[in-house]
Amino acid sequence: MEALVGDYKKSALFSLRERLALELAERMTYTGKRVTESFFKRLKKQFTDEELVELAAVIALENFRSKFNPVFAIESHGFCSVPAVQEAAAAASRLFRE
């Protein structure tokens, strides 16, 4: 899955909205990256205010959990498990054949 997401800016697997959401997550997560005025304008063209608030809140929550959970050794219980990389690659392959 990481290989598929790693090049999201150029990948045909993601819509414009998905690529912008991934870039927002990247900008919110990595130290030194910012949500610039020009990037925010690009977001506003694709998302409503309500969608942006929800998107930013979910990204912030995931960032919080990634820092909080290890302190208390909280591990995944498989409720929202991500499919194996092989399954994701197979799904991507099917998309290109359609």
pLDDT (tens digit per residue) in 39-53:
999 999 999 999 999
CA–CA distance, 25 with 39 (Å, rounded to integer): 12
Question: pTM for the whole thing?
Answer: 0.72
CA–CA distance, 92 with 85 (Å, rounded to integer): 10
For residue 60, the model assigns a pLDDT of: 95
For residue 94, the model assigns a pLDDT of: 66
Nearest to 51 by CA among 72, 24, 29, 77: 24
For residue 58, the model assigns a pLDDT of: 95
Could you identify the residue written with the tokens 């090049």? 7
Ordered mean pLDDT values, 10 residues apiece, the chain (98 residues): 67 89 94 93 98 96 91 80 59 61
- Burial class from Cβ neighbours inside 10 Å (0-12, 13-18, 19+) for residue 82 reads exposed
